[in-house]
Amino acid sequence: MSSTQVAQIDAERTTAGVTTQSWDNLLLNVQDFLNVGDRVVIDAWFEQRASTRQGLNSMILYILYRDVSDETDTNVPAYVVTGNTDGQDAPTWFAATTDALGADARGIILLSADTIPQSNDQNGKLYLWIYVDTSGPAAAAPGEAYLGTVGVAPLPPGGSGDVDLQASDGTVIGTKTVYNLDTANAAAAGELLYVWSDPITERLVTLARCCP
Amino acid sequence: MSDRVLTLISNLGENLEVFAARLSTQITALGEVSAVDFTIRMETQGVYRAVLVYRPGGTTGGTLAVAGFQRGGDPTASTDAMNAFFTANPDYQGIFVRSVSPQDDRDLLERQLVVLYSDGPMAILPTGEPQVYAALASADIAAGATGNASIVDGNGNAVGTISVQNRGTNIWSLNTFAIAYYDLGSEAWFAYPGCC
């Protein structure tokens, strides 16, 4: 069974033998952590100490997550970490970022921090945003539901396969990996199914013998 | 059903872990609730203020609680303690994590972490959010009748029990699947079993 864990990620990073501390490093370290691929984000929080002795070393992100490394065939969302740079106007950055991403992003976590007292921009804000790349296999928000048509291969009992998700007018809006929770019955190729995103595991699931 | 707020302020100098335990007792006294949001901060040196926004009712399968970790001597001691706590209790599901570490240099190595968690998975989502699950009838449920069903998550694990109305025209038989929906209008669960 998956377990809740917490990660403590700081702003220190070593590149080519040189260790530095910066806001950009923090963003990279968080992205590296989530790229492992068996971590489902639950929540996150900043810790920041206004210490003249510690500087950016005092900036830590705690990520609460579910470790699903012991689960097989679990769709973990593709997380992307981004943020503004020190001194860059945060609202302008955020508007430009969301405009560029459009429907390809589903926000998970947005946190702000003050630029450190030593920064030239005393009133600046730093933003860290974690979103799900919705072009990935677990695109739907938890609890969202769709009609879908099984692809060329049937969905085996207790197994996964490709399903074409549909908009209300029947237009195919994407092909996703869907897990059949019914361990006794398969869904035939071309069969119309009710598909939803499980709120706990974020996995796209269906029941082969429960038509829309 | 409207959201409500629980606020608790610590005693002067009260240890964070002791305060978290006291907060858990207050939350338990609320009965069955789900978490909407949670915050905790240090108002003045040594005084914590915690605020829980909660929603009465909801699904069974978990009770909310709070745990605090105030450890020094090593900058990861509190994080390690929290991970050990969840490893020892794999059914517990974290919901919100907060840091209330001192903002000055009193103890550079001490970290103060708080986690709001459920001792079962079904309290993760507050009542009022879109929810759809596969559900297994705990007993035969006649058409139009209400009975209990076991919720199954995306990995096929039973994670809680709900009271659900069979709105179909067929009996929902023991241990057979149906899709259970949470209706945001009536704030109740319903299902249409045997629709194939």
Cβ(A65)–Cβ(A42) below 8 Å:
yes
The rounded distance, in Å, linking the Cα atoms of A178 and B6 is 40
B17 plus B73 within the same structural domain? yes
Give residue A23's pLDDT. Answer: 86
In a 13 Å sphere around the CA of B189, the CA atoms on its Cβ side amount to 25
Q: Chain B interface, mutation test: which of A1, A4, A72, A75, most B Cβ atoms within 10 Å?
A: A4
By C-alpha distance, the chain A residue nearest B182 is: A143
The gap from C-alpha B77 to its chain's centroid, in whole angstroms, comes to 25
Q: Is the pLDDT of residue B116 over 90?
A: yes
Q: Is the pLDDT of residue B124 over 80?
A: no
A129 plus A149 within the same structural domain? no
B104, A49: Cβ pair inside 8 Å? yes
> Among residues B93, B123, B153, which one ends one of the domains?
B123
A158-161 long-range contacts, CB within 8 A, separation 24+: A158/A182, A158/A183, A158/B156, A160/A73
Q: Determine the residue type at A105.
A: A
The rounded distance, in Å, linking the Cα atoms of B105 and A136 is 43
Of the candidates A190, A183, A189, the one whose C-alpha atom is nearest the C-alpha of residue A207 is A183
What DSSP string describes A105-146? Answer: EEEEEEEEEEPPTTSS-TT-EEEEEEEEETTSTT-SPTT-EE
A9 plus A48 within the same structural domain? yes
A110 plus A35 within the same structural domain? yes
Q: Which of B102, B132, B177 has the CB atom closest to A145's CB atom? A: B132
B138 plus B115 within the same structural domain? no
B91 plus B16 within the same structural domain? yes
Residue B98 inside a domain? The answer is: yes
Residue A41 inside a domain? The answer is: yes
Q: Which of B92, B95, B154 has the CB atom closest to A43's CB atom? A: B95
B156 plus B62 within the same structural domain? no
Task: List the alpha helices (DSSP H) in chain B.
Answer: 16-28, 77-88
A30 plus A79 within the same structural domain? yes
A82 plus A152 within the same structural domain? no
A18 plus A120 within the same structural domain? yes
- Domain CATH number, residue A177: 2.40.50.140
pLDDT tier, B128 (very low <50, low <70, confident <90, very high otherwise): low
Give residue A212's pLDDT. Answer: 43
A35 plus A67 within the same structural domain? yes
> Among residues A89, A108, A133, which one ends one of the domains?
A133
Interface contacts A/B by beta carbons within 8 Å:
133
**What are the chain A neighbours of B117 within 8 Å (beta carbons)?**
4
Number of domains in chain A: 2
Residue B14 inside a domain? The answer is: yes
Domain range spanning residue A196?
145-206
What DSSP string describes B33-51? Answer: EEEEEEEEEEEETTEEEEE
B93, A210: Cβ pair inside 8 Å? no
Give residue B36's pLDDT. Answer: 86
Q: Chain B interface, mutation test: which of A1, A2, A6, most B Cβ atoms within 10 Å?
A: A6
Residue B81 inside a domain? The answer is: yes
Q: What is the mean pLDDT of residues B97-122?
A: 82
Looking at the complex, does the CB of residue A144 fall below 8 Å from at least one CB of chain B? yes
> Among residues A98, A133, A168, which one ends one of the domains?
A133
pLDDT tier, B186 (very low <50, low <70, confident <90, very high otherwise): confident
Q: What is the mean pLDDT of residues B106-112?
A: 77
Q: Is the pLDDT of residue B172 over 90?
A: yes
Strand partners of residue B136: B150, B177
- Taking CA atoms, B5 is separated from A77, A128, B53, B59, in Å, by 32, 28, 5, 19
Looking at the complex, does the CB of residue A179 fall below 8 Å from at least one CB of chain B? yes
B179, A50: Cβ pair inside 8 Å? no
> Among residues B123, B149, B170, which one ends one of the domains?
B123
A53, B105: Cβ pair inside 8 Å? yes
Of the candidates A73, A71, A46, A63, the one whose C-alpha atom is nearest the C-alpha of residue A5 is A63
B86 plus B43 within the same structural domain? yes
Looking at the complex, does the CB of residue A159 fall below 8 Å from at least one CB of chain B? no
Residue A139 inside a domain? The answer is: no
Strand partners of residue B55: B34
More confident residue, B20 or B58: B20
Residue A40 inside a domain? The answer is: yes
Cβ(A128)–Cβ(A83) below 8 Å:
yes
pLDDT (tens digit per residue) in A108-142: 898 887 765 444 454 567 889 999 887 655 556 66
B97, A6: Cβ pair inside 8 Å? yes
Domain range spanning residue B174?
132-191
A127 plus A149 within the same structural domain? no
The rounded distance, in Å, linking the Cα atoms of A161 and A170 is 20
Is pTM beyond 0.80? Reply is yes
A23 plus A112 within the same structural domain? yes
A116 plus A186 within the same structural domain? no
Q: Is the pLDDT of residue A174 over 90?
A: no
Q: What is the mean pLDDT of residues A60-88?
A: 83
Q: Chain A interface, mutation test: which of B59, B179, B182, most A Cβ atoms within 10 Å?
A: B179
Residue A212 inside a domain? The answer is: no
Q: What is the mean pLDDT of residues A71-94?
A: 80
Residue B50 inside a domain? The answer is: yes
B119 plus B144 within the same structural domain? no
Q: Which of B129, B131, B154 has the CB atom closest to A205's CB atom? A: B154
**What are the chain A neighbours of B104 within 8 Å (beta carbons)?**
49-51
**What are the chain B neighbours of A38 within 8 Å (beta carbons)?**
none
Cβ(A154)–Cβ(A186) below 8 Å:
yes
Task: List the alpha helices (DSSP H) in chain A.
Answer: 23-35, 90-101
**End-to-end CA distance of chain B, in Å?**
34
Number of Cβ atoms within 10 Å of the Cβ of A83:
24
B97 plus B136 within the same structural domain? no
B137 plus B71 within the same structural domain? no
A21 plus A82 within the same structural domain? yes
The rounded distance, in Å, linking the Cα atoms of A204 and A180 is 9
Number of domains in chain B: 2
A105-142 residues labelled b (16+ CB within 10 A) or e (exposed): bbebbeeebbbbeebeeeebbbbbbbbbbbebbbbbbb
- Domain CATH number, residue B148: 2.40.50
> Among residues A105, A133, A161, which one ends one of the domains?
A133
A72 plus A161 within the same structural domain? no
The rounded distance, in Å, linking the Cα atoms of A52 and A21 is 14
Residue B196 inside a domain? The answer is: no
> Among residues B123, B143, B171, which one ends one of the domains?
B123
Output the six-digit token pair for A186: 């398969």
How far is B109 from chain A, CA to nearest CA, in Å? 11
Burial of A33 per CB tally in 10 Å (0-12, 13-18, 19+): middle
The answer for A 44-83 residues in CB contact with B (under 8 A) is: 44-51, 53-54, 60, 62-64, 66, 71, 74
